[in-house]
Structure 1
Amino acid sequence: MEITEIKERLSLSEVLKHYNLEPKNSMLKCFMHDDKTASLQVNVEKNFYKCHACGKTGDVIQFIEDYEKVSKHEAIKKAGVLALGSQPTPQKNTNPLYKGAADFGQVETSAHFLEKVYLSFRKGIFNCVPAKEYVKSRALQLEDLEIGFNSGQLHYADRKNKDPNKREALIQKLTDVGLLSLAGTNSRTGGQAYKTFGIKSIVFPLKNKENQIVSFYFRSIIDNNNSKHFYLKNRSGVYPNYPNPETKKLILTESIIDAASLLQLKIINEKFSVLACFGTNGLNEEVLNSIKNLPELEEIIFCFDNDKAGKEAVKKYSKTLNDLFLGKEALRIGSVELPNKDVNETLQLHDEEIFTKLLGERKFIFSDEKEKGSNPDKTTKSVVFTDENKSMPPKTSPNLSAIDILQQKNLLQELNKLIEKAGIIGEEQSRLLLFLITISYLNKSPLHGIVQGSSGSGKTHIISRIADMMPQEDVLRFTRITESSLYNWGEFDLFQKIIIIEDLDGLKEDALYALREFISNQVLRSSVTIKDKKGNNKSSHKIVKGQFSSLSATTKGELYEDNMNRSFIVAVNESEEQTEKIISYQNRRNAGEIDKNGEKLATNFVQKIVRNLKHYEVINPYATQMQLPSNVKNKRRLNEMFQSIIKQITLLHQYQREIKNDFLITEIEDIENAVEILFESIILKIDELDGSLRQFFEKLKKAFKEDQFSRFDAMEITGFKKTQLQFYLNELVRLEYLKQIGFANKGFKYKISYNDNIQRVRKELKDSFTKQLEQLKLNATEHKRTLNGNQTNTR
C-alpha cells in the first residue's frame, strides 16, 4: 500500500483509539517530553497534530513514529496494517474493532488478521477490571506496554453483521489460526459450539522481522497451576520484536513477562535492547537468528530466574552463543544475579533503580579458556569471548587485541603509549595514576584524585581526556555542583560511576561536605519533607548510594583539608620542557602531521581494555613489609591510599596474576610500579607547598639564590601574569619562604628566607623505597630456595 493511500484510509482518530488516547478539548499531554499540562493539539478532521511546547508536528505516520519511537519504515508498516480495515476516506470512529464489530473478512493475510485481532484484545483489557488489576499486581504499566486481554468474546465481534457468510468466514479464520476450536453442540441453540483458546488471559504479541504480529503469548489471570501459559499453534515471532540492528548491548530474559518488566525502565530503554526466550529451553532458532544478525553487538546479558533451572540454562546458552559468534568481533557474555525469584518479582519488591546496581554488578560467564588461547595454567573468574579488536593500538603492535595488551608483561608501558596517542602529552606517571584512580569505580572501595595547577596549565584537559577513555555510559561530568544536588540523586544513580568535576573551586562548603561524605562512606542519608497522596506534609528518609571514582581540577593550593586528605593530589607539570612538548604536539597536529582519527581509535581501544577488566578482591602478601616515611602528613590515610594503588595495579594485571581462593595475588612488580607511579603524589603529601607553588618557588631559588628581586623580576623568570604572580608571592611570604622588604608605595622587594632542599627529601624517600624493595626481593628469593630445598628433601 502506497503512503498516499495509507494517509487517505487511516484517520488520526483511529490511531488515537489504537493507543487508547482520549483527547480533552482536542488536547493531550505530549509524549515527546515531560509535559505536566496538555500541550499537544490534535486535529482529527485535518489529520495532523502539533505540540505547542516542543514544536513537534506531523501526520498519522509521524504520530506512530513519535509515539512508538520507531523508524520511519516501521511506522509506515504499522500505519499500513491499521489502514487495512479503515474506510477509504477519513471519518471519526471508523475502526470496527472499537465499535464492537470487526470486518475481518477484508483482511488479506494472516499477519494483517492477527493485527486486527490484537486491536480487539487491546480494547478488551481496558474494559476488564480484573485484567487491569492483574497487570498492576505484576508491576506492569498498561499504558507503556503492548498488552491485550482475551475475554473469549472475539468470535461474537461480528454478531451485528446479518450476512451469515461473513460471520462464518470470521469463525473460520479464528479457527485456522488456532484461536477457536470445535466444542460439540451448543445446548441452548443447538448450533455448533466453540472453545476459545487462551480465554481469560492477558495477551502479548509476537512479531516477525518485518515487525508484524505473527503469533500470541497468553498468560492466564486465573490462579490455575495447570493453565498458566499458552502459545498460539505454530508459534513464530519474538518478543517484543527483532532487536534494532544497531544494538550493542542485549538483555535476554527467561520469560516474556520478565522482558516486559524491563521494557518499562528508563535505563534499559536508553542503553539496552531486550529479547525474551520462551523458558529455560526456549532459546530457539528464530531467537538465535535475531541475535546473530546484530553486526554491532558487543555484549549479551542473561537475566534468567534465580533458580537451578535458570542457572543451568545460562551455562548452556552461553556456550551456544559463544559458538555462534566464533570468528566475529569481541563479544562479552554476562549474567545478572537477581535478589529474588525473577526479574518481575524483583521489580515488584524493589524500586526500578535496583537494576542499575544489578547490571553494574553483572558477572561474566565461565568458558573453556583453551578454545580462546588463554593460559591454561591460570584460573580466571571470568572470560571474555574475543577474537580481534578493530580499534587499533599504536602502530608498533597492529595485531594486538585488548586481551593481548592485558596479557603483556610491559602492560603499563603499552598503556602509557595508548594514553599519549589518545591526546595526553607528557605527564607519564601522573596520567597513569589518574587512569588507575578512574578505573577503580568498578571496585567496592573506589579512589579519588585532585589535579592542581595554575590557570591555563591544562589540568581540565587531562581529567577530561582520561574520562574520554572510560565507558561513556558510566561517566558523569559536572562544571558545578550545588549545595544540595548530591542529595537529590536516585538511590543507585551514582553507583559504579565516574564523576568528573571540571572546577572544584566553584563548590561551596556544603557541596564539598557532601562530596567528602560520599568519598568516606559511599552513602548520603537525609531527612526530607514530602507530600503524601492526600497532600499532607510528612518526613521521609532519602538514601543515595555513591560507589564512584572521581577526578577534580583546582587552581587552589589549599582546599578544604579533609577533601584533600581523602584524595590523591596530582600536580600539573608546568616546566618549560613540558610546555615545549605540548606546543610541539599542538603544532604538529595543526600541520596535519598527527592523525586525528588515531586519537579516537586509541581512545576507543582503551575503552575496550577497561571493559575487559573484572572486579577481584586482592591480597597483598607483602603489605606488612613496606613502610611509608615518618614525615608525611596523615600517614594513616596515605598508607591506605598507597595500598589501594598497589591493588589497582594488581587488578590491571589480572590476566597475568595468580588467583587463590578467588583472590588475586599481588607480586613485587606491582609494588615497584606503585612506588614509581605514586612517588610524586607522596612528595606532595610531604611538602608544605602544593605542586604549582613548589615549581614556582624552585624557579625563584634557581634564579635569585640570595639576591633581592622585584615582582617584575619574578614575572620575567616565571612567565606568570600579575594576578597569579602576586598570589604566589603573597603565599610564600605568608609561609615565610620569602621575606618582603620595603614599602608598598615604592614597590616591595623580596628575598628567599628559607632555602629548603626538596631534592634531598626526594632522594631520601627514593632510597628508602629502593632499600625496602631490594629486601622484599631478597626475602622472596630465600623463601623460594627454602621451598625448593624442602621439596628436594621430601623426594
Structure 2
Amino acid sequence: MEIQEIKSRLSIATVLHYYGLKPDKNAKMCCPFHEDKTPSMQIYYKTQTAYCFSSNCKTHGKSMDVIDFILHKENCTKHEAIKKAVEILGHQEPNKKDRYQKNLSREEFLGNMFQYFRNAINNSKPAKDYLEKRSLDFTKIEVGYNSGQFHHGARKDENVIAQALEYGLLLDKGITGRTGEKAYGVFGKWSICFALKNKENEVAGLYFRSTLNDDKAKHFYLKNRTGIYPGYPNPNTKKLILTEAIIDAASLLQIKNIAENYSIVACFGTNGLNEEILNSIKSLEFLEEIIFCFDQDEAGKIAVEKYGKVLQEEMPGIKISSVELPNNDVNETLQLHNEEIFLELLENKKDIFLSTETERFANTDENNRQGNEQKKKITITEAEPKAELRAEPKTITEFLEQKDLLKSLNYLIEKSGIIGEENSRMLLFLIIISYLNKNPLHALVQGSSGSGKTHIISRIADLMPQEDVLRFTRITESSLYNWGEFDLFQKIIIIEDLDGLKEDALYALREFISNQVLRSSVTIKDKKGNNKSSHKIVKGQFSSLSATTKGETYEDNMSRSFLIAVDESKEQTQRIIQYQNRRNAGEINPEEQQKAIHFIQKIVRNLKFYEVVNPYATKLNLPEKVHKIRRLNEMYQAVIKQVTFLNQYQRKLTKDNQLITEIEDIEQATEILFESIVLKVDELDGSLRQFFERLKKFVKNEKQDFVLREIRQEFNISKTQMFRYIQTLTELDYIKQIGGFANKGIKYKISYWDNYQKLRAEIKDFLMLQILELKQEQTAPSKPKNKKLSTIVNESI
C-alpha cells in the first residue's frame, strides 16, 4: 500500500480513537507529547492534520499528518510508523477483527487490551507519579495503566466483557452494582501493566504491578501465564542479562547502551526461570555469556547459584557471571544512581564458577597448610605485612575477604595519593562510606590555612563512586531546603570551606545532619497565579566531610561530627614534600595512582547494606573526662559498626541477616578513632594543641619567657595565625603576659604546663584494657574476675 493511499484512507479521527484520545467540541485537546494542562493541540479534520501551539512541545512548529502523529506517539522510525498506520487501518476495516469483535484469539484480545492500557497512561496522573518514583520513563518502554474503567461507560461492550471474563481481566463475583446491573471485579486494578510476549512477538500474557504498594497484593499475573518479558531474545544474541523481576528488566531497557548491546529477559522471581525462558535461552546459537542481575538478598544469591548450575549443565561452555549491585535490586539502584553506574557494574561482573573454583582451591590449600599458617601468624615480622599488601588480590571479593583488610585498604589509599595520616585517612574513609547505611556519619577536618585539610577530604571523596559525590565550595542560606525530596538520598556532601557559610546555612546543615530531613513552609503560585503556602520536605541520607580553620566556632556542628585534626608536624610536612618531589621526578606512576582509585571505587560499589549488631556494646565505655560523652559514645559505637560493615565479607550473619561485630572490629575501631577521642577530651582544638606542644618543646621549662617574633620565626607561621593561637591560649590561661614593650615585643610565659602525653596514655590504656577484658571473657567465660582493670584505670584518670 502506497503512503498516499494510507493517508487518504486513514483519518486523524481514527488515529486519535485508536490511541484513546478525544478532542473537545472545538477540536482541541491536551497534547500527548508533553506535559499539558491547558489544551494546546488543535485538530484540523479538513486537512487530516494536528498542530501543537506550545513552545515546550517537541513537535512545535510542525504540522503533523497521521503518519507523523503515529511516529511521535510510538517514538519510532517513519518506516515503523507506516507499518503501524497499516495495522490501525486494518483494525478499522469491516472485514478485519477489532477490539469489540467476537472470537478474537487470546493474543489478539490481549494485544488490543494492552494497547488500550498503554494509551490510558497518558491521562493518568497516579500512573505517571508511580513510574516517576520508580525512575521509569513510559516514553522509552512499553508500559500501560489499568484504571479499571475499560468495561464502563462508552467502552461497555458485551464482547469485551465476555472475553475479559474468559481470559481473567474481569472476575465474576456474583454481585450487583448501585445501578442494578451486574458488577465485576477488575483484575490488576490501579496497576501499571507490562506485556509478556510469545515467540511470534504477540502479547501472550499480562503482568500488573500495583501502584498502591499494598504489601499483601503487589504482583498480578493473568491465569494460564505464558510469554516472556520483554519478549523472546534476539536469535543473534551474544550476551544475555537475566533479571529477577520485570520492573528490573524495564529499568535496564531504558539505558540505550545496554539495550543496544545486550538482550534482556526477566524471570518471574527467584523461582521463576521457567521452562519457556530456559528453552528460549537454549535456542540462542551465538550466545557467549549469561549475566545474572538478581537482588542482593539471600534469596537472590541462592537463586543465582541454583540457576547458574542449571544453565551450566544445559549449556556447557557458556560463561555465567553475576552483577553485584550497590543496592538491593536493579530498580532501586537506578533510583539512587545515574544510568552510567550499570555500565561500570557490567564491566566488573563476577564470573560465578571461576570465583567458586578459586575459593575451593583456597580452602583446600588452607587445609593443607593449617598448622604452618598458625605459626606464621604468631612469628610474622614487621616487613612481611607490606609484602602481602603489595601482592594485590585478583578480584574485589578476594580483596574484601582477606584477613588484614583495613591494612591493605590503607595501603591502597596511600597509593591513591594521600600521604601520611594513616589513622585519619582511614577514619575519614569509614565515615564517608556510611552514606550507604541508614545512619550516616559526618566529619569536620580542622587545620590552619595551607595545612592540606581541603586536599585530604577532596582526595578521600575521589575514592568514592563519583555519581554519588556532591562538592560545594559554598552553601547559601536556603539552598539545602530547595533540593528535591530524594536528591540527597545516599549521597556524599563535600564542603571545601565551612568558614564561608552563614549562620542560617550552618543551622540548616546542622538540622539535616541530626534529623536527616528538612521541612519548610514555602510560598508557591496556584494555577490562577495566586500565592499559597505549601509544605516542602527534603530527605537526606548522606555522609559529609567539611574543612575549617576554626576550632571552637562551630560548637554545635562539632558535637554532631567527628573532629579530625590535620597533622601539621614537621615530619608530615617532610613526607608530603618527598612525595611531591618524587612525583615531579617521574618516580610515581600516575596510572598506578588512578588504578588504585578505581579499585577502591569498585570496593565501595561491592559493599552491600547490612544492619550491624554489636553483642559487646553494653561492655564498652569511654573515659568520664570526655567532652559531650553522650554523643561521642554514639560515635564510638558507630565507628565500630562501620568497621564491621567494611569487614562484611568476613563476618557472620544473624538469622535476621544482620552482621555480627567481633572483638577485632572493636580493636581496629578504637585504634582508628583514638585521636578523635583525645580531641574530644582536650579543650584545645587540633591545630592549637599541636602548636602548644611545639611551644612547650621550644620553651623547655616553666621559668623561661618568650616573645612572639622568635616563635613566629622558629615555627614559620603567619602573624595572623600566631595571633589567633596566642589569644586563645591566653584566654584559656595556658600562657600569660609578663611584661615587655609593644615596640620591642611583649613577653609571655607558659602558666599551665599540662601533661598531655600522660593523658593520652591513660585514655589509650583505658580503652585497650577494656578490649583485653573482652578477650579474656571470650576465652574463659566461667572464670571469676576481680574488679575490672578498666574501672581501675578510669578511677586513676
The offset of 1:425, in angstroms, is 0.8
Asked if the contact 1:450/1:552 (under 8 Å) is kept, the reply is yes
Q: Give the length in aligned residue pairs.
A: 655
The offset of 1:680, in angstroms, is 1.1
Show the counterpart of 1:671. 666
The offset of 1:424, in angstroms, is 1.0
Quick check: 1:464 aligned with 2:469? no
Q: Report 1:111-260 matches (<5 A).
A: 144=139, 145-146=141-142, 229=222, 238=230, 252-253=244-245, 255=246
Show the counterpart of 1:403. 397
Quick check: 1:549 aligned with 2:536? no
Quick check: 1:758 aligned with 2:752? no
Secondary structure in 2 matching 1:746: coil
Structure 1 unaligned residues grouped into runs of 5+? 1-5, 23-27, 40-48, 87-93, 105-116, 153-200, 222-226, 304-310, 344-351, 361-366, 377-392, 787-795
Show the counterpart of 1:455. 449
- Please give the TM-score of this superposition, normalised by the length of structure 1: 0.63
Give the whole-Å Cα distance in 2 for the aligned partners of 1:601 and 1:458. Answer: 23
- Please give the TM-score of this superposition, normalised by the length of structure 2: 0.63
Give the whole-Å Cα distance in 2 for the aligned partners of 1:301 and 1:276. Answer: 12
Show the counterpart of 2:474. 480
Give the whole-Å Cα distance in 2 for the aligned partners of 1:249 and 1:462. Answer: 40
Give the whole-Å Cα distance in 1 for the aligned partners of 2:333 and 2:400. Answer: 33
2:306 to 308, 319, 340: 319
Q: Which moved more, 1:585-594 or 1:731-740?
A: 731-740
Q: What are the superposed Cα offsets for residues 607-660 of structure 1, whole Å, 9 maximum, x if unpaired?
A: 333333344444444444443223221122222222222222233333334445
Q: Aligned in 2, Cα 1:122/1:545: closer, same or farther, shift over 3 Å?
A: closer
The offset of 1:69, in angstroms, is 14
Asked if the contact 1:281/1:313 (under 8 Å) is kept, the reply is no
The offset of 1:415, in angstroms, is 1.4
Q: What are the superposed Cα offsets for residues 742-784 of structure 1, whole Å, 9 maximum, x if unpaired?
A: 6886264342323333222222323333444444444443327
Asked if the contact 1:121/1:203 (under 8 Å) is kept, the reply is no
Q: Report 1:772-787 matches (<5 A).
A: 772-783=770-781
Quick check: 1:651 aligned with 2:645? yes
1:331 to 323, 331, 334: 323
Q: Aligned in 2, Cα 1:591/1:213: closer, same or farther, shift over 3 Å?
A: farther
Secondary structure in 2 matching 1:373: helix
Give the whole-Å Cα distance in 2 for the aligned partners of 1:575 and 1:742. Answer: 30
Q: Report 1:675-694 matches (<5 A).
A: 675-694=670-689
Q: What are the superposed Cα offsets for residues 338-396 of structure 1, whole Å, 9 maximum, x if unpaired?
A: 9xxxx9xxxxxxxx999659x99xxxxxx9998783899xxxxxxxxxxxxxxxx9972
The offset of 1:584, in angstroms, is 1.7
Structure 1 letter corresponding to 2:767: F
Secondary structure in 2 matching 1:570: strand
The offset of 1:460, in angstroms, is 1.8
Q: Report 1:241-640 matches (<5 A).
A: 252-253=244-245, 255=246, 276-277=266-267, 281=272, 284-285=277-278, 299-301=293-295, 316=303, 319-321=306-308, 331-332=323-324, 356=336, 373=359, 396-531=390-525, 537-640=531-634
Quick check: 1:732 aligned with 2:732? no
Give the whole-Å Cα distance in 2 for the aligned partners of 1:693 and 1:370. Answer: 53
Asked if the contact 2:192/2:208 (under 8 Å) is kept, the reply is yes
Secondary structure in 1 matching 2:627: coil
Q: Report 1:16-35 matches (<5 A).
A: none
Secondary structure in 2 matching 1:752: strand
Q: Which moved more, 1:631-640 or 1:51-60?
A: 51-60
Asked if the contact 2:441/2:544 (under 8 Å) is kept, the reply is yes
Asked if the contact 2:326/2:333 (under 8 Å) is kept, the reply is no
The offset of 1:427, in angstroms, is 0.5
Asked if the contact 1:353/1:492 (under 8 Å) is kept, the reply is no
Structure 2 letter corresponding to 1:729: I
Q: Aligned in 2, Cα 1:52/1:473: closer, same or farther, shift over 3 Å?
A: same
The offset of 1:572, in angstroms, is 0.7
Secondary structure in 2 matching 1:708: strand
Give the whole-Å Cα distance in 2 for the aligned partners of 1:314 and 1:704. Answer: 64
The offset of 1:429, in angstroms, is 0.7
Q: Which moved more, 1:538-547 or 1:681-690?
A: 538-547
Structure 2 letter corresponding to 1:694: R
The offset of 1:204, in angstroms, is 6.6
Show the counterpart of 1:717. 714
Show the counterpart of 1:110. none
The offset of 1:417, in angstroms, is 0.7
Q: Which moved more, 1:632-641 or 1:137-146?
A: 137-146
Q: What are the superposed Cα offsets for residues 301-335 of structure 1, whole Å, 9 maximum, x if unpaired?
A: 489xxxxxxx9899646632576599666632799
Give the whole-Å Cα distance in 1 for the aligned partners of 2:32 and 2:495. Answer: 34
The offset of 1:685, in angstroms, is 1.1
Q: Aligned in 2, Cα 1:634/1:773: closer, same or farther, shift over 3 Å?
A: same
Q: Aligned in 2, Cα 1:133/1:439: closer, same or farther, shift over 3 Å?
A: closer
Asked if the contact 1:631/1:686 (under 8 Å) is kept, the reply is yes
Q: What are the superposed Cα offsets for residues 165-207 of structure 1, whole Å, 9 maximum, x if unpaired?
A: xxxxxxxxxxxxxxxxxxxxxxxxxxxxxxxxxxxx9997789
Give the whole-Å Cα distance in 1 for the aligned partners of 2:457 and 2:290. Answer: 29
Q: Aligned in 2, Cα 1:735/1:246: closer, same or farther, shift over 3 Å?
A: farther
Q: Aligned in 2, Cα 1:134/1:732: closer, same or farther, shift over 3 Å?
A: closer
Q: Aligned in 2, Cα 1:648/1:322: closer, same or farther, shift over 3 Å?
A: farther
Asked if the contact 1:240/1:276 (under 8 Å) is kept, the reply is no
Give the whole-Å Cα distance in 2 for the aligned partners of 1:57 and 1:294. Answer: 46
Q: Which moved more, 1:321-330 or 1:592-601?
A: 321-330
Structure 1 letter corresponding to 2:764: K
The offset of 1:516, in angstroms, is 2.0
1:698 to 662, 687, 693: 693
Q: Report 1:42-81 matches (<5 A).
A: 78-81=77-80
The offset of 1:229, in angstroms, is 5.0
Show the counterpart of 2:174. none
Structure 1 letter corresponding to 2:715: T
Structure 2 letter corresponding to 1:725: M
Q: Which moved more, 1:435-444 or 1:742-751?
A: 742-751
Asked if the contact 2:416/2:594 (under 8 Å) is kept, the reply is yes
Q: Aligned in 2, Cα 1:466/1:281: closer, same or farther, shift over 3 Å?
A: same
Asked if the contact 2:712/2:718 (under 8 Å) is kept, the reply is yes
Percent identity reads 50
Secondary structure in 2 matching 1:417: helix
Q: Aligned in 2, Cα 1:329/1:503: closer, same or farther, shift over 3 Å?
A: farther
The offset of 1:54, in angstroms, is 14
Q: What are the superposed Cα offsets for residues 120-143 of structure 1, whole Å, 9 maximum, x if unpaired?
A: 9999889889x9669959956996
The offset of 1:724, in angstroms, is 2.9
Q: What are the superposed Cα offsets for residues 502-550 of structure 1, whole Å, 9 maximum, x if unpaired?
A: 2222222222222222322333333344455565555444433333322
Give the whole-Å Cα distance in 1 for the aligned partners of 2:530 and 2:721. Answer: 54
Asked if the contact 2:198/2:231 (under 8 Å) is kept, the reply is no
The offset of 1:95, in angstroms, is 11
Asked if the contact 2:243/2:292 (under 8 Å) is kept, the reply is no
Q: CA RMSD in A?
A: 6.6
Give the whole-Å Cα distance in 2 for the aligned partners of 1:503 and 1:19. Answer: 55
